[in-house]
A and B are shown apart, each in its own frame.
Chain A
Amino acid sequence: MGLPWGSVATLAWRNLWRNRRRTVIMLLAIAVGVWAMVFMASLMRGMTDQMVRNGLQSLPGEVQIHHPDYRADPSVVNSMAPPAPALRAALEAAPVAAWSGRVRVPAVIASERDSRGVTLLGVDPLAEQAIGALPGELVAGRFLESADDRGLVIGAKLASRLETGLGKRVVIMSQDPNNDVADRGARVVGIYRARLQGNEDRFVYGGRTALQDMLGIEEMISEIAVTANDYRHVDQWYPQLAVAAGTELETLPWTELDGFLGTMLAVQDGLSLIIMVVIFIALSFGLVNTLVMAVFERVREIGLMQALGMRPGLIVLQIMLESLYLLCLGLLLGNLLAVATIKPLESGVDISSVASAMEMMGMGTVLYPVLASFDMLMSTAVVVILGLLASIAPAWRASRLDPVKALNKH
């Protein structure tokens, strides 16, 4: 016959505060550890989110449909016809939110002063806006007005390199399906600034129909970009599009179109978990130490309880509860600290001093940490599970004490 559970819980709680100073130090240690876990996870989540979002914007779309040879050989030869009725039906149905058929060919753009190699995009501005692929912000002029617009919109960086500007004429050159040079003079009607500077150099926007005329490809397009505004669950909805597109076309989700992004998203949670476990292990030495000490100074008391008939199981329970209280208080404190420090940072941390490095990873100049409840739950799970595991040994040892020897100790 032992004590009822409620009393064990009370005992554990009171025992925790018998050595107030030690408990407070351990509590602080756990809080700092938990804070670090959540803080680092939120920085990483912020980075990954931004990388994925920027990546999806320049892809663009969460799913793309191409001629099967286009990705290996992005030439006008590997264009495809506009979507057939079956595919069009699938593109108009849920969960697809928007889609855009685009011409995308390598080209050379030349001003009277200089020339550059670029990727020429023939778009329908309305569809482009619907899939969220409009370039950053316009700093001069306007974006294209329709698919028939004969003007060009180029990046600010490119404009400076070409020494051209709004209203000036440039020449674009590419190839038509017969490999003859297809070229056309056009006026720069807008200049944009992109979130990733590399894109400013690379993408030149023109009206889709106007470019189709120039390339002599009638209604043909290079790619269809599709979005459902749900990049995390793309694997659930893209197969039905693939079926609708048929085997003649290649339908791929962003995770495969950009392997780097896919991998980053996949490893991010794993990396957070590794960091959390490492921090916890550093913490666990102190935790076990505290429990060992707590048991050590109470050997006589535990011996007495055993002599009075308390079952070993209840002693284990009591020590484990003491540890659990400590862990939960530390978690509470650490998470509060994390919320308090991350919330003010969520509006963005300026990291423009390392902008070029961030650009290599596909990030902008502002880092937005993301406080996700998932990370807080993961840190809680790590701390509680591993913490209780670490407490088993001291608790077990306490329950195995020989009452007679324990009582005579000192």
Chain B
Amino acid sequence: MNVTWVLAWRNLWRHRRRTWLTVGAMVFSNVLLVFLISLQLGSYQMMIDSTLGAFTGHIQVQQHEYLEQQRMRQSVPAAAGLAAQLRQLEGVQAVAARAEAFALASSQERSFGILLTGVQPEYEPGVSTFPGLLAEGRYLEKSDAAEIVVGAVLARNLKVGLGDEVTFLGSGRDGSFAAAVATVVGILHSGIDEVDRSVAQLPLGYFQQVFAMGDAGHSVVIRVPKLDQVDGMVEALRSQLASREDLAVLDWDALQPGLRQAITSDMASAWLMYSVLIVLVAFSVLNTQLMSVLERTREFGVMLALGVSPQRLARLIGVETLLMATLGLVLGILLGAILTAYLGHTGFTYPGMEALNSRFNLPARIYPPLSLLSLLWGPLLVFLGALLAAVYPALRLLSLQPVAAMRAV
């Protein structure tokens, strides 16, 4: 084995306590980084999955101005037909057409303005988790039945139960007066008040009839098996629909701009903290290596006098730092993985997290998943920071004069 490496290794343990303290700083930061980055990446994934899976879907085809203005007239012609056509595409998991309208919903005792959604009963369960969350009754079945499924809070507010009738007053697509009566067949309970307060779904056929929509809808929702297939599918859909200038293909980022931005802003504030940790570790390494160079001035002077080149001395310091940083890296990743795996098993939470998390469709307890990325990202940066910190002490050696150095105290 190379003498430099043996020398470097032995030098490290001349000051056992100092080396361990420096390695300790790295390990502490690494464990923290592995855990926090795993937690972050894990919650982003959950946030995206649960937000998109609930209702939005991965991609929607809409009339090109509908997203911005949401006017009833901005509709997709022959929506169910378009959905059937897109369902044939390679790589789609589920496709369903929808329509939306605001109306005043009234029961025997109460009236509320609500957003009604017309859905295709046979396809909606493929693009949304809502149909699976029924607490009472059944989901919609026939496309032209006068039936409605409502959220639990809305049902409570309207004071309706299964079998009760709800009346709607609103305006149709052509501006005509729209009125209808539907029977409550199912009550949905998601546990999220916002959802349970707002869900009101009718079968698409019946919806089109009531609101004078003809065969039109407002969106065709598409789900793909995996999130990273969205971009490819958007391309495929755009070329498929190239001749339809009235339609726009929108990915989840356009549909839910808050989602990616929440991730971006959370990333930014987290990295402020991470950089501070990395800089502090670098300071710690800088101090240790500078001290270790200064206290060995005489020794280095002797080595120079014996014919060791200054470059080799600088390399020695480099190798010492490398060994120390590797120790910190390996121990940090190991302990970080253990901590994260443990919390990935039991779940992680802190007081107040529930309120914050529910804003982003997250459960109160998060199970951080380990991945190669979350395992290596932080520790590798700490490793690099440590190596950079050794540059200055190593460079000082290059200008060392043997005689003066040997006389140093």
Q: List 14 A-B contacts (CB under 8 A).
A: A19-B291, A28-B283, A74-B157, A115-B170, A117-B113, A179-B110, A260-B355, A264-B352, A270-B352, A275-B273, A283-B280, A285-B25, A357-B260, A361-B359
In the bound complex, residues from chain A placing their C-beta under 8 Å from that of B171 are: 110, 114-115
A148 within 8 Å of B (CB atoms): no
B371 within 8 Å of A (CB atoms): no
Q: Which of A3-32 contact B (CB under 8 A)?
A: 19, 21-22, 25-26, 28-29, 32
B111 within 8 Å of A (CB atoms): yes
B126 within 8 Å of A (CB atoms): no
Stretch from B56-64, B69-77, B215-223 contacting the other chain: B69-77
B262 within 8 Å of A (CB atoms): yes
Across the interface, A264 reaches (CB within 8 A) one of B21, B283, B356, namely B356
B232 within 8 Å of A (CB atoms): no
B360 within 8 Å of A (CB atoms): yes
| Interface residues of A, Cβ cutoff 8 Å to B | 19, 21-22, 25-26, 28-29, 32-33, 36, 39-40, 43, 72-75, 77, 106-110, 112-118, 160-161, 163, 173-175, 179, 181, 259-260, 263-264, 266-267, 270, 275, 278-279, 281-283, 285-286, 288-290, 292-293, 296-297, 351, 353-361
The answer to whether A173 and B287 touch across the interface, beta carbons within 8 angstroms, is no
The answer to whether B111 and A22 touch across the interface, beta carbons within 8 angstroms, is no
The answer to whether B273 and A40 touch across the interface, beta carbons within 8 angstroms, is yes
The answer to whether A285 and B287 touch across the interface, beta carbons within 8 angstroms, is no
| B interface residues, how many (CB within 8 angstroms) | 68
Distance A80 CA – B107 CA, assembled complex (angstroms): 22
- Also in contact, A179 and B18, with CB within 8 A (given A25-B287, A29-B284, A358-B265): no
Known: A106-B111, A282-B276, A359-B258. 9 other contacts (CB 8 A): A73-B156, A106-B112, A115-B103, A179-B110, A260-B356, A282-B25, A286-B280, A288-B21, A357-B258
0/1 string, B257-284, CB within 8 A of A gives 1: 1111111110001001100110111011
Distance A208 CA – B108 CA, assembled complex (angstroms): 26
The answer to whether A29 and B157 touch across the interface, beta carbons within 8 angstroms, is no
B114 within 8 Å of A (CB atoms): yes
The answer to whether B356 and A289 touch across the interface, beta carbons within 8 angstroms, is no
The answer to whether B286 and A260 touch across the interface, beta carbons within 8 angstroms, is no
The answer to whether A282 and B280 touch across the interface, beta carbons within 8 angstroms, is yes
- Also in contact, A285 and B291, with CB within 8 A (given A28-B283, A117-B115, A160-B69): no
Across the interface, B106 reaches (CB within 8 A) one of A19, A115, A179, namely A179
Distance A354 CA – B70 CA, assembled complex (angstroms): 22
In the bound complex, residues from chain B placing their C-beta under 8 Å from that of A21 are: 290, 294
Residue of B nearest to A175 (CB): B111
B91 within 8 Å of A (CB atoms): no
- Also in contact, A292 and B262, with CB within 8 A (given A117-B115, A161-B69, A173-B104): no
CB distance from B85 to the nearest CB of A (A): 29
0/1 string, B102-136, CB within 8 A of A gives 1: 11101011111111000000000000000000000
The answer to whether B28 and A282 touch across the interface, beta carbons within 8 angstroms, is yes
In the bound complex, residues from chain B placing their C-beta under 8 Å from that of A358 are: 261, 265
B169 within 8 Å of A (CB atoms): yes
The answer to whether B102 and A289 touch across the interface, beta carbons within 8 angstroms, is no
Instruction: List the count of A-B residue pairs having beta carbons below 8 Å apart.
Output: 189
Residue of B nearest to A28 (CB): B283
- Also in contact, A115 and B22, with CB within 8 A (given A40-B272, A281-B28): no
B246 within 8 Å of A (CB atoms): no
Distance A259 CA – B357 CA, assembled complex (angstroms): 13
Across the interface, B110 reaches (CB within 8 A) one of A175, A353, A360, namely A175
The answer to whether B71 and A285 touch across the interface, beta carbons within 8 angstroms, is no
The answer to whether A118 and B277 touch across the interface, beta carbons within 8 angstroms, is no
Across the interface, B283 reaches (CB within 8 A) one of A25, A113, A174, namely A25
Residue of B nearest to A278 (CB): B32
Residue of B nearest to A284 (CB): B25
Distance A293 CA – B294 CA, assembled complex (angstroms): 12
- Also in contact, A32 and B102, with CB within 8 A (given A175-B110, A289-B18): no
CB distance from B12 to the nearest CB of A (A): 14
Residue of B nearest to A75 (CB): B110
Residue of A nearest to B389 (CB): A25
Distance A205 CA – B170 CA, assembled complex (angstroms): 21
- Also in contact, A263 and B73, with CB within 8 A (given A117-B102, A289-B287, A357-B261): no
In the bound complex, residues from chain A placing their C-beta under 8 Å from that of B261 are: 353-358
B141 within 8 Å of A (CB atoms): no
In the bound complex, residues from chain B placing their C-beta under 8 Å from that of A26 are: 283, 287
Residue of B nearest to A261 (CB): B355
Distance A72 CA – B291 CA, assembled complex (angstroms): 67
- Also in contact, A357 and B264, with CB within 8 A (given A115-B171, A160-B69): yes
B29 within 8 Å of A (CB atoms): yes
The answer to whether B359 and A112 touch across the interface, beta carbons within 8 angstroms, is no
In the bound complex, residues from chain A placing their C-beta under 8 Å from that of B104 are: 107-108, 117, 173-174, 181
The answer to whether B70 and A161 touch across the interface, beta carbons within 8 angstroms, is yes
In the bound complex, residues from chain A placing their C-beta under 8 Å from that of B291 are: 19, 22, 293
CB distance from A101 to the nearest CB of B (A): 23
In the bound complex, residues from chain A placing their C-beta under 8 Å from that of B214 are: none
